[in-house]
Structure formats: C-alpha cells, structure tokens
Amino acid sequence: MTTTRTAPAASPLTRAGGLLRPALRLDAVVTGANGAGYLLAAPLLDGPLGLSPGLLRSVGAFLLAYAAAVWLVAARRRISGAAVEAVIGANALWAAGSVVAAVVGIGSLTGLGAGWLVLQAAVVAGFAAVQLVGLRRR
C-alpha cells in the first residue's frame, strides 16, 4: 500500500515575499488614500487641522508619489532588500517628523491636527515595524 502526502498550500504570508509584500502594499494603499484625501479635501481640512491648503496639497502630492514608489517596490518579482530598507527609513523619518510637527505646532495646528499627526506617526511607525519584521523573515 502506498500513501501520498500533499504539502499544504502556501499561504500568502509564507510564499515569496512572506509578510513583506502585503505590508508594503498596505502601506502604499493607505499612504495613497491619505495623499488623495489631502489633495481633494485640502480646503475642508484647513480649519479642523490648522494646516494650510497649500501645505496639504503639497504633502498630498508627495504622498501619492511615495505610495506609487512603495507599490513598485512590492510589485517586483524579487523584492529588493535595499529598496525595503529605504522605505523603512523613510517611514521612520516620516513618523518622527510627524511627532516633531505635532509637538512644535507647525502653522496654526489645532488640537485635532496635532492628534491627527500623532495618529499618522503611529500608523507609519507600525508599517515600518512590520516591514522590518518581513524583511528579516525572508
């Protein structure tokens, strides 16, 4: 009698890229949505956040470009470790800069604006942490 065992199908988190590819893609999607929101709603966000529409539009355009770059890193068949390290570094800088901006109170930053910057910093730092774990596991 012969028995045959079939290996279980690899989950999306154990295939090539593991945790890294989905973490990069989620970063790109969330960052892109944030950038689009800043671009489209800049005049509406001015009052509640205390950030000028010009600044919000500039940041929005930057975030859209950054999101596209992160998506491209994730889209490569073989994810470049150096590119991921650059994304992690950029995310860490963005998170730190957001906290500094909230503490210093750039422009006419409101309490809601400061809270938004700190929340944004926490999310971006979380992306960096998950990406670092994904990079180390691959």
Indicate the residue type of 133: V
27-56 average pLDDT score: 97
Q: Which pLDDT does position 16 carry in this prediction?
A: 47
Indicate the residue type of 87: V
Please report, for the chain, the start and end positions of each structural domain, with discontinuous segments joined by +.
20-137
Quick check: helix, strand or coil at residue 108?
coil
User: In the predicted model, what is the mean pLDDT of the chain?
Assistant: 91
What's the predicted TM-score (pTM) here? Answer: 0.85
Q: Which pLDDT does position 86 carry in this prediction?
A: 98
Beta carbons of 87 and 70 less than 8 angstroms apart: yes
In eight-state DSSP terms, residue 15 is S
